[in-house]
């Protein structure tokens, strides 16, 4: 597998794709690999990146403006590389290029990866796809722009080195990237923690109006459609609200719901203790992980909360 980059040296055309609704690791790994190849291969090579629109906060490289968002050109790539995508259907509009490419490469860290490439490099104990890429690269050839991209993936997939996927190796890599001059304080603030004014206002409203249930072991907050429009926010502005609810002292389960259609709610669940929230989400056609799951539910806010708190209570008293 270390020979992957060796093989790419002979390629005339290389395509790179991440997954739909790209996150920090997806964008970081696509930018890292494309810039690394561009900076280390002869200039006549065609290296294209395909991604859905990149959120403004992740536009950290001038080359991000060259990322392609359509599949209307007809080109069969020598190599097409999928990054951070657990299955082929996650590739979105660029899947057609992947399917037609002469050699398909799949690099990822999801344990559930289906191995859909001709060549697959799945490192399921790596914190991020960026960590996998770091190990493929020649350290001396990693310049500041590539280092920034790799660092972005590390901080986003580890929740800034907080999640359990953070290993000693992850921190060692982060240290090496910092030594390359990555502006880490600024990147962490501006890509991870920063909220705009509207996002802060809606977070404040959710916290102010949150309610405790089950002797303070469960916290719930909800937003109806009218509120979303009167505050001028969209679902993307609600990221992080559930995490703020979850860290309330004494809380075992946090629930956040917002209305997506008439009496239809998107529900997020987070657990601190032993409650398996995935089990609850699955009952309503959703899913996720033991401590973080989601589903869509119908009914009034009070009915949904009743339903959920009953199920949470059942697990709490076991």
- List residues binding Mn ion (CB under 5 A): 25, 84, 128-129, 157
Backbone angles phi, psi at 200, to 5 degrees: -65, -40
C-alpha 267/C-alpha 209 separation (Å) is: 17
Closest distance between Mn ion and the C-beta of residue 171, in Å?
A: 17
Residue 18 beta carbon to Mn ion: minimum distance, rounded to whole angstroms: 9
CB closest to Mn ion, residue no: 25
Please state, in angstroms and rounded to a whole number, the distance separating the CA atoms of residues 245 and 243: 5
* CA neighbor of 210 nearest in space, from 198, 197, 221: 221
Q: Name which of 109 and 217 has its Cβ closer to Mn ion.
A: 109
Q: Which is nearer to Mn ion, 133 or 219 (CB)?
A: 133
Task: Round to whole Å and give the CA distance between 247 and 237.
Answer: 19
3-state helix, strand, coil in the chain (%, to 5): 45, 20, 35
Instruction: Closer to Mn ion by CB, 132 or 251: give it.
Output: 132
- 14 versus 154: smaller Cβ distance to Mn ion: 154
CB of 158 to Mn ion, least distance (A): 10
d(CA 83, CA 23): 12
Residue ranges of the alpha helices (H) in 41-125? 95-100
Cβ atoms 166, 157 nearer than 8 A: no
DSSP result, 272-295: SSS--HHHHHHHTT-EE-SSEEEE
Supply the minimum distance, in Å, between the C-beta of residue 129 and Mn ion.
Answer: 5
> 145 vs 157, which CB is nearer to Mn ion?
157
**Which residues fall within 8 angstroms of residue 163, CB to CB, at 6 or more apart?**
127, 157
Shortest approach of Mn ion to residue 57 CB, angstroms? 17
Contacts of 120 (CB under 8 A, 6+ apart): 105, 106, 107, 113
Q: How far is the CB of 110 from Mn ion (least distance, A)?
A: 7
Residue with smaller CB distance to Mn ion, 81 or 251: 81
Nearer to Mn ion, 128 or 309 (CB): 128
| Minimum CB–partner distance for residue 32 and Mn ion (Å) | 12
Contacts of 206 (CB under 8 A, 6+ apart): 221, 223, 241, 244, 245, 256
């Amino acid at each position: 597998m270390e020979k992957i980059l060796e093989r790419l040296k002979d390629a005339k055309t290389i395509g790179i794709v991440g997954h739909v609704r790209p996150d920090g690791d997806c964008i970081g790994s696509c930018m890292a690999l494309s810039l690394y190849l561009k900076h280390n291969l002869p200039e006549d090579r065609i290296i294209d990146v395909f991604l859905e629109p990149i959120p403004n906060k992740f536009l950290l490289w001038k080359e991000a403006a060259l990322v392609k968002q359509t599949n209307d050109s007809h080109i069969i790539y020598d190599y097409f590389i999928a990054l951070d995508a657990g299955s082929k259907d996650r590739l979105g509009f660029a899947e057609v290029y992947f399917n037609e490419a002469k050699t398909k490469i799949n690099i990822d860290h999801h344990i559930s990866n289906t191995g859909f490439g001709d060549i697959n490099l799945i490192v399921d104990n790596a914190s991020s796809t960026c960590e996998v890429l770091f190990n493929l690269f020649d350290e001396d050839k990693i310049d500041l722009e590539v280092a920034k991209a790799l660092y972005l993936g590390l901080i986003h997939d580890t929740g800034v080195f907080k999640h359990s996927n953070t290993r000693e190796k992850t921190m060692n890599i982060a240290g090496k990237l910092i030594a390359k001059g990555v502006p880490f304080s600024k990147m962490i603030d501006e890509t991870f923690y920063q909220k705009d004014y509207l996002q802060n206002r809606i977070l404040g409203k959710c916290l102010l109006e949150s309610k405790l249930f089950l002797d303070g072991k469960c916290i719930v907050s909800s937003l109806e459609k009218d509120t979303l429009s009167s505050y001028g926010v969209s679902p993307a502005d609600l990221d992080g609200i559930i995490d703020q609810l979850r860290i309330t002292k004494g809380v075992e389960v946090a629930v956040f719901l917002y209305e997506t259609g008439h009496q239809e709610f998107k529900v997020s669940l987070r657990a601190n203790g032993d409650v398996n929230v995935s089990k609850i989400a699955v009952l309503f056609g959703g899913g996720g992980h033991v401590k973080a799951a989601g589903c869509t539910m119908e009914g009034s806010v009070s009915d949904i909360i009743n339903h959920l708190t009953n199920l949470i209570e059942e697990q709490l008293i076991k």
